[in-house]
Every structure is written in C-alpha cells, then in structure tokens.
Structure 1
C-alpha cells in the first residue's frame, strides 16, 4: 500500500539521522511509532533546509514554502509527498497541533538569521522552538490527553535534549556552521572566548562552563521523569529510553575528557541496550 511506503520513507529519515530517537521510539505500538516517524520527518525537513548548501534566499524561499504547505494541510488540501501523506494519516488518528509545526519552522528561521544567544533565556527560547515544539507535538499522541502541565513538561524535555545536542556539538557547530550556541553571558562569566574555541582549548573555564549547562539539562531530565505517569503505559518505556539515552550523551562527553570540540560523542548500541533494560526495571518497580 502507498501509505506503508510513505511511512517507511519517514522511518528511514529518523533511522538515518537520529539513532537514539529511533532506538527508543521504534518500540512504540505501530500507530504511535509511525506518528513519531512522520513528525520527525517534518522537523528534519525544516532543519535540512537551513543546513543545506543552497543560497540564503533559496533557504528562505523553501521555509516559506513549508509554511504555505502547513496552511494547505490545515485546510485539508492533499499534498503529493510521502511526508505529507503520512502526516495526513496521522491526523486521522491523533491530534496534531499545527501551531507547533509553525513554531518549529520559526525556530529554524532563527538559525537562518543566526545570532549567538545573548543570555540563557535566549537559549531556552530557541531550544523551545526547535525541540520543545516536538515534545508538545508528541505529548497528546503518546499520552492520549492534552493538558497544560503535560505540554510544559514535554517542552522542558525538548529543551533538555536541545541543550544536550549543543553540548555534544560545540566544535562541529563552530567549525562547520560558524555558530556558537553557548550564551555570550556565560562565556563572559566563565572567561572562555571565541579565540579559545578556535584554538580548541578544553581548559578549566571550558569544563566549568560546559558543566553548568549540562547540570541545567540534567535538572530538566530529572524534572521530566515524574511526568512519565501522564503518558500511556505502552509509551512510557520508549520515552524513558529516549530520555535516558540522550542524558547519557553528557556522560559520554565526560568520559572523553570533555572533548566535544574535535570528536563526536555518541552512546554505543551496547549502552543503549543496557539503558533499555534499566528503563524497563525502573517502570516495573514503580508498578509493584
């Protein structure tokens, strides 16, 4: 069937670009897993537009087209593309907040008009757009309900994951994209300069600054875990696995002596399997 091919198109995108997400969410029931794949495909499409090799004008045009497609989709128009056909099927089964799709695109536009965040609040604002929006999209699908508290917790988890991405990719973001996501105020506070970053210096100032942001992310993960009870029972383990794997990225950077400037830190498949077992045990203990 065409719809199965459309979902497989989306599944390949998440499998190729985020093994951590795929490992966790592929364990969901079929309909929920397919919904995650389709939503991820949309977010990846927006992200790839900004990170592509096209001119800035072409990128802006592509993002505007994506916003127009959201409008068309909202009005029930059929868009002849695997991702949109999959999303149309998702909308027949689950609630889809299209405001969060627009929020995601707005976040990508922030990267197109990139400015280093001046404050930690600016970083939260950006992270909420590019990652918190995903959490808010998935919450009603995986929870079977839609509450303000649940959305806030999902947004908070997204911010934690985005901060984790930033801490993992400091060197790559600066080297390949000329972007610094560490807020200017933090770099000034800890006396770590862009020249230090250019020199790939992992000194005490860098480590203390990195740990300050890592602690922020870890606090957010810890505040999210009690909200797992808000989600459908079959969604809790995959969601906990995804969160724990992301949190483990921070430990991988620590084990590699904070070298996130010249190497890519990732969680091994063996570690992911251990985390999956731990998550299952945690949930079992909570229900006994």
Structure 2
C-alpha cells in the first residue's frame, strides 16, 4: 500500500512539472510530450527547475529580492546535492531523475550562474560574450537533458548539446528584443550595434531599419549555423529520442523565419510558431531518414 502511495505521489510530482512546461513553453512541450513516459517526465522536471531559476530573477525588478531569491535557490540546490533536499514536487521529481539517469550536478550550478548574470546584467560587448552568456543560461540546459536523451553516448555529445542550447537562446534573444529592452536589458552586442550605427535611441523609438536588420541577421546567421552543427550529431542520440530532439530544434529555428516574415518586428510584436506549423514540422521530421 505504501509503495502504491509513493508511486501515486511521484506521478503527482511529475504532473506538477508537466503543468509548468505546458503553461510556459508550448514549443518545448509539443516537441517532447511524445517521448517515452519516463524520459518525458525527466524533461519536464528539468524544465521546471530551469523555470524556477528563471522566475526567481525575472518575477521582480528589485535586485535585493532577486539576490535573496538566488541565494535561496542556490541553498536548495546545495541541499539537493547532499541528498537533503526539501520536500516539494520539483525536488522530489528531480531526485527521481537523478536516480534513474547518469546525471551531472555541474550544469545545474552553471545555470544558476547564468541567472546571476541577469541580476548583475551588463550588455555584451561582442558576439563571443553573448554566446558565453547563452552557454550559462541555455547550453547548460542541453547538458542537463543529455543523459536522458542520449543514455549511451551522452559523455561524447557535450558539444552538440551546447550548440543546440546556445542556438535556442540566441533565437530567444532575437525574438524578445523589445521585451528585453522594456526590462532594461539589451543583449545585442555593443560592437555589432556600433558597426551598423544603430543607437539606443533607435531601439527606444522601435526603429526597424536596415541597420537593425543587419545586426539581427548577423546573430540569426550564427544561431542557424549552430542549429546545423548540432544536427550533425543527431544520430548519436537514443533512437526513441532523435525525432523529439530534432523537432525541438526545428520548431525553435522556425521562430527566426516567423520574425523575418513579420518584417523583423520583434520590438513590439510577440513572434511564435503556430500549432499548425508545429504539426507541419513534426510531419516533416518524421519523413526524414535520420535513423529514427
């Protein structure tokens, strides 16, 4: 009876995590919901951790509160590492993930370092600096998911996981330029803006001119290059995961196309991939011969 109750409780914990991803990221949920149940649950738990970390910084503009929230989360992760985690749906689900898979705690800590970069935000000077930031907030997510999606080869696929995570984060940044500016963050590198003579006043005025488009496209081209490099490693992921990983990449890459089709308006328009297009991409992926 106790064992059945424990199983039911764990299912409820994973349901909590699934609700988090379903509510916050339709694209991720669409890509991964058809994974084998154990793997899908593990993805949901990791997403819930990342969302928890992100919200601890983004839900308030008060730096002192952000820092306090960050310290609290760091303490919780430290307890988890010691096997003394607090009893909550997120941490119970994550403990089950660490029991089932060959997980590494390091990217979880690095994810928190990325959140701290946002608390003490500095506009990146170069594309290389921007990619470094992207590693901490998103490349780490790829590393977290790797032992679940590539159970046999995960030790050898770090480069591909990081490439995908960085590509996705660059896409996020290109989608959210206006929203980020309203939150006093400019992720577009200083040197690219200076090279094209696109000034902060232009951003404030929401000027979508040729200079802005050139800056945007420089970053988009790098993102697309990373998606291509990642795809070269898709055959090394687990057979039951390849379609879902590739689909997540293609759905995110599609966001760039949507922004272009909307005249590069990422300053006051929310760009997203429609459900219809997600289904189209899924059908296209299923038709590819990538050993799926």
Tell me, yes or no, if structure 1 residue 279 matches structure 2 residue 282.
Answer: no
Aligned to 1:39: 46
Task: Tell me, in whole angstroms, the C-alpha distance in 2 between the residues paired with 1:220 and 1:35.
Answer: 25
Tell me, yes or no, if structure 1 residue 246 matches structure 2 residue 252.
Answer: yes
Structure 1 residue 286: deviation in Å? 3.5
What is the RMSD computed on CA atoms of the aligned residues? 1.2
Q: Which runs of 5+ in 2 are unaligned?
A: 1-7
- Pairing of 1:126-145 with structure 2 (within 5 A): 126-145=133-152
Closer/same/farther in 2, CA of residues 99 and 67 from structure 1, 3 Å limit: same
Mean CA deviation greater in 110-119 or 68-77: 68-77
Task: Tell me, in whole angstroms, the C-alpha distance in 1 between the residues paired with 2:71 and 2:153.
Answer: 29
Task: Tell me, in whole angstroms, the C-alpha distance in 1 between the residues paired with 2:68 and 2:185.
Answer: 22
Structure 1 residue 146: deviation in Å? 4.8
Q: 2:235 touches 2:290 (CA, 8 Å); kept in 1? A: no
Tell me, yes or no, if structure 1 residue 53 matches structure 2 residue 60.
Answer: yes
Number of aligned residues: 285
Structure 2 length as normaliser, TM-score?
0.95
Mean CA deviation greater in 194-203 or 58-67: 58-67
Closer/same/farther in 2, CA of residues 145 and 287 from structure 1, 3 Å limit: closer
Q: Write out the 4+ residue segments of structure 1 that deviate beyond 2 Å after TM superposition.
A: 145-149, 285-288
Task: Tell me, in whole angstroms, the C-alpha distance in 2 between the residues paired with 1:32 and 1:149.
Answer: 20
Per-residue Cα deviation, 1:209-236 (whole angstroms, up to 9, x for no partner): 1111101000100111121111100100
Structure 1 residue 121: deviation in Å? 1.2
Task: Tell me, in whole angstroms, the C-alpha distance in 1 between the residues paired with 2:158 and 2:245.
Answer: 15
Structure 1 residue 260: deviation in Å? 0.5
Task: Tell me, in whole angstroms, the C-alpha distance in 2 between the residues paired with 1:77 and 1:147.
Answer: 27
Aligned to 2:179: 172
- Pairing of 1:88-167 with structure 2 (within 5 A): 88-147=95-154, 149-167=156-174
Structure 1 residue 8: deviation in Å? 0.8
Task: Tell me, in whole angstroms, the C-alpha distance in 2 between the residues paired with 1:148 and 1:96.
Answer: 11
Aligned to 2:83: 76
Q: Which runs of 5+ in 1 are unaligned?
A: none
Per-residue Cα deviation, 1:22-77 (whole angstroms, up to 9, x for no partner): 10011111011101000010111110011112632222111111111111111111
